Amino acid sequence: MIGDEKILFSGMQATGNLTLGNYLGALKNWVSLADEYTTFYCVVDEHSITVRQDPAELRKRARNLLMLYIAAGIDPEKNCIYYQSHVSGHAELAWILNCFTYMGELQRMTQFKDKSAKHADNINAGLFTYPVLMAADILLYQADVVPVGKDQQQHLEITRDIAQRFNSIYGDVFTIPEGYYGKAGARIMSLQDPDKKMSKSDENTNGSIYLMDDPDTIMRKFKRAVTDSVGSIAYNEEQAGIRNLIDIYCACTDKTPEEVVREFDGKGYGEFKPAVGEAVVSRLKPLQDEFHRLEKEKGYIDSIIKNNAEKASYYSNKTLRKVQKKIGFPERIR
């Protein structure tokens, strides 16, 4: 709690171009929850270097990501939008939590298994302890709620396990966070392979809608989306492609799957696919316009970056000092 408000923390990696999955699974919910909580929305640039990055490109992507948070509708004066690398407490707490996390737990993480298969030439220790840094992000702010997509659920569970383990030794130090998963959009799949999640790093760019894709590109990708030969619009496991399109349509229009199935009853995929495309285009348009406007506001964005880094450091230091004291690090002499 800060004052009488509960605390929300979430973050995104500054790698690749954000996809519709990132938006519908996370960012959209960040916006809708912002007023109810004291919020920390982090650009997790430290997580990004678990795979090799071009320095200039990383810097640019991190700034674009921060602007996208704002463009999506998060007011940076009321919500703490900041870079992870500007707040040293993340790395410091991560080190401490590393000493309370077991190798076996980390070995079970599916993201680690996937990423080490994909980057077999660079299975570094950072990739392995990635979830510990994520736990540090969340626990540092005593977050009550963490809005994420379903693919992050396992990381949230290990965060809770680490926090509980620490608390059982040292008393009530950390708040145990809860995940928040939206009703629609918590798991958006690739348009080209509906069994695979839509991902920034997918080599087949037709499978992903990027937030900055222009309307023609979005419409073309939806028209090419892989479906099935059943031919009717129904929400079930067997029609994974159509089910994904229904999820996307629901998340963009705030309708339920039942309403969508009724709306398109008797209609074919040729009509449904462009309708989904149009819903996405109109959902993304205000965000894209605002992003282009913010690109010109250099001084304003710089002041947000500076002020919010200070705010995040202030709150995170409170937890960090408490943890350091509990585990027996010598007190600072003032």
DSSP states along 61-121: HHHHHHHHHHHTT--TTTSEEEEGGG-THHHHHHHHHHTTS-HHHHHT-HHHHHHHHHTTT
Neighbours of 85 (CB within 10 A): 19
Neighbour-count burial for 303-327, b at 16+ CB within 10 Å, e otherwise: ebbeebbeebeebbbebbeebbeee
Encoded tokens for 59 = 């810097």
Residue of 6, 150, 200, 223 marked catalytic? 200
21 or 277: whose CB is closer to ligand TYM?
21
User: Pick from 7, 13, 166, 175: which binds ligand TYM (CB under 6 A)?
Assistant: 13
Neighbours of 334 (CB within 10 A): 3
- Rounded distance, CA 204 to CA 308, Å? 36
User: Pick from 7, 43, 44, 294: which binds ligand TYM (CB under 6 A)?
Assistant: 44
Site string for ligand TYM, 129-168 (x = CB under 6 A): -----x--xx-------x-xx-xx--x-------------
Residue 268, CB-side half-sphere exposure with 13 Å CA sphere: 3
141 or 232: whose CB is closer to ligand TYM?
141
311 or 325: whose CB is closer to ligand TYM?
311
**Is 115 annotated in the active site?**
yes
Site string for ligand TYM, 264-293 (x = CB under 6 A): ------------------------------
- Rule CB under 6 A: say whether 247 interacts with ligand TYM: no
185 or 277: whose CB is closer to ligand TYM?
185
Say if residues 222 and 191 touch (Cβ distance below 8 Å): yes
User: Pick from 12, 97, 163, 246: which binds ligand TYM (CB under 6 A)?
Assistant: 12
Neighbours of 76 (CB within 10 A): 21
**Is 150 annotated in the active site?**
no
Site string for ligand TYM, 192-231 (x = CB under 6 A): -----xx---------------------------------
- Rounded distance, CA 163 to CA 317, Å? 17
- Interface residues with ligand TYM (CB under 6 A) are 9-13, 21-22, 25-26, 44, 47, 134, 137-138, 146, 148-149, 151-152, 155, 186-188, 197-198
Positions marked catalytic: 115, 197, 200
